[in-house]
Amino acid sequence: MSSLSRRKLITAGLVSTTGAGALAAAARIADRYGLIPPDYGGIYGPGETLTYGTQRLLTRTSLAREFSPSQISKSPFANGRPPTDDAFKSLQAGGFADWRLEVNGMVARPRSFSLADLKSFPASSQITQLTCEEGWCFIAEWTGVTLRHVLQLAGILPQARYVVYFSIQQRWWHSIDMDDALHPQTLLTYGMNGAELPVGHGGPLRVRVPRQLGYKNVKFVNRLVVTDNLDKYWRKSSYSWYAGI
Ligand SMILES: Nc1nc2c(c(=O)[nH]1)N[C@H]1C(S)=C(S)[C@@H](COP(=O)(O)O)O[C@H]1N2
Ligand SMILES: [Mo]
């Protein structure tokens, strides 16, 4: 679909309509164009579909705002605590030389990457804002490899729709659709403000998805799973799955 006809669709189908019947109509249109978010059936229902569908139609390839070096926050806030278990401490003591990122699921070539591998790939830096849903934010320079590059090395299969990324912190994982997974600003970051990514901010490796809220930016990431269905990987949360900003 051209961007013009996308806009027409939005105007005709989503924005200019109001009321409950219109929401149902919008949901039908969204379904037809693959714009239903996976938490459609949850308490948000049609509202979530409108948000996700509208964002996807209008901003599929838009860029998150980038800032200048002088705007980098002096004291970025590290939310929560890094893992305290012995396994993490021993990895940390070894400079994370034994850290691995596993990539599997719907890929042609399941892979395992060391940090050195990831650092040998083309590096990408961005000065963007991390925005927590609880009302605070900070700007930092993030350095890493695009998720896209790593996915292409593994070879995503055509039916793939989502990438799930897991933290060594058991409670933490999240997923994004292929638009965000292949977006040029979506990074697997190992550097922050010109230094190694501190463990407070998810070192040695975190997902940076600057077009979505803080909670989608999972820290201590060590596994990616490519899938066409999130049922098995659903993360119960009071926050919506799509956290576009
Ligand atoms: N593994 C893990 N990832 C996480 C979290 C966490 O507690 N554990 N907190 C999330 C939330 S709610 C936010 S706002 C950001 C905070 O990032 P920061 O610690 O770099 O400020 O990380 C996100 N990723
Ligand atoms: Mo957050």
In a domain, 179, yes or no: yes
Same domain, yes or no: 80 and 190 = yes
Q: What is the pLDDT of residue 36?
A: 81
Residue type for 97, please?
A
Same domain, yes or no: 145 and 28 = no
Same domain, yes or no: 53 and 135 = no
Instruction: Give the whole-angstrom CA distance, residue 160 versus residue 173.
Output: 18
Enumerate the β-bridge partners of residue 212: 244
- Ligand positioned closest to the Cα atom of 173: 1
Same domain, yes or no: 105 and 206 = yes
**Å from CA of 132 to ligand 2 middle:** 4
Helix (H), strand (E), coil (C) string for 102-171: EEEECECCCEEEEHHHHHHCCCEEEEEEEECCCCCEEEEEEEEEEHHHHHHHHCECCCCCEEEEEECCCC
Same domain, yes or no: 106 and 171 = yes
- Ligand positioned closest to the Cα atom of 130: 1
Instruction: Give the whole-angstrom CA distance, residue 15 versus residue 29.
Output: 12
Q: What is the pLDDT of residue 4?
A: 43
Same domain, yes or no: 77 and 132 = yes
The CATH number of residue 186's host domain is: 3.90.420.10
What is the DSSP-derived secondary structure letter of residue 12? I
Spans of the chain, pLDDT less than 50: 1-4, 6-18
Write out the two tokens for 84: 């305290």
Q: What is the pLDDT of residue 55?
A: 85
What residues flank ligand 1, with Cβ below 6 Å?
77-80, 130, 132, 167, 169, 172, 201, 214-215, 217-220
Q: What is the pLDDT of residue 40?
A: 75
Neighbours of 179 (CB within 10 A): 14
What range does the domain containing 14 cover?
3-59
Q: What is the pLDDT of residue 114?
A: 98
Q: What is the pLDDT of residue 22?
A: 65
Confidence (pTM): 0.87
> In terms of DSSP H, where are the helices of the chain?
3-9, 20-32, 46-59, 86-93, 115-120, 147-154, 178-181
Nearest CA owner, ligand 1 atom 24: 218
